[in-house]
Structure 1
């Protein structure tokens, strides 16, 4: 092995090890929360099947399938078709996880029109760029530095760069709006920085905060066009953190012990009460994460 190929070979070996580490992390996340998925799937009270439930399950399992395919491969399928199939699951993941973030952000801002417009434009941009990327995507077998066999890899990076930069940019904008909405809450500002940290922790937003902080370096890495392996490692790490963060945020809305029953609900009983799952003065009907039964016209703030 010559000196020029050594760094690439080391990077590839590191990426393969990271893939197995990511698979273990995602598998553990699925294993420890399968009971929650099962309650969602069988529509047990207080769960039902709004769009956010579909987005939650789609985000979790498209992320899981993506990591499995990246480790195991797709068999004897032609290279170009195989890599297109491999990229289809991340596209499903990005759209579904972004929708979970959007639903939470819109709820935090109590359905403010400008937040709805920005969120819709952002998600539309993600879908449009994903379609464009799949249209121009090309892959072929190439002999990579430090490798003794040809591997199926993208032969152009425009599709990967465009989707990664668009998804990261949109998510950063929406997360910035979300965190701003949380910070402007009187209950949060009264406690200063510690109050914001407490809210982020209590509502399962810590991982999304890390995604937001790492977003700018990731966009810079995409812009400077570093080597493919390094870019893939950075995108994959952001991919995993966003998936775990978005699904944990949605799951936490069901499990947060600070959530209180909606008052004055004649259909609620002591054994099965309708819960307010938006903790920031947002209509339950919009967030679509409430229990079955009549929906309240307004919500209580329990941040």
Structure 2
């Protein structure tokens, strides 16, 4: 195995809740209110749709807001990896990755391990647009049981919710997370920062029409069948853990370039960067905020 080269789960497709569009010569993230499943191939219009995108959309009889999934690993932290991350916008190379305590930072002297005070308390992170960045691997269907679809996000809401759900489902199932029949769900909420506009984040739940008790019973049956067949889930988790730990950074330059394009857009002159797809709606202009305020005052007066 090549040292310094992270071995990550094989990826056969992507899951997103937005896309990157070109406006006035700049590539910017555009939010959406549904999932899109794509291949790993791009053309001039963007990422090419995966066949599962259309089949699941037909089954949902509307917008794709739930995807039936399973997870590769029983360990929640192998399915979802989240760190504070900073990328070089030009090369797509990871520059600094930390967990709030320690970080690995690429410099002229190589990879250094330094204290990580989180982006709010780090001068280096603030100047480079450091933010939480999560990667979730899931399996969809039975065509490739060890191939995964990856969902990338810089949303606090998505990362926090996904981490909690994964640990909860692992606990209540007796560490049978990889056998549970679950689904990704798109949820909406409004906050003061979004000015009452809906923002969307990703959650995990039991599949529609089922219950947690039924899902756990199915997980136990699947675990028993796998054990009988010789499937070693513990060894798979161990192999994945070793693969992740083999490199300083999980993302390659190729992956990083796509991440920068979608989640770390270049800042326009004299202004802040555009909001990320599933993190926040774009901040309204001063004119829009004044109009919203006037409308609220007018409604109160009526």
Question: Would the TM-score normalized by the shorter structure come out above 0.5?
Answer: no
| Structure number with higher helix proportion | 1
Higher strand share: 2
Q: What's the TM-score, normalizing by structure 2?
A: 0.27
Taking structure 1 as the reference length, what is the TM-score of the superposition? 0.27
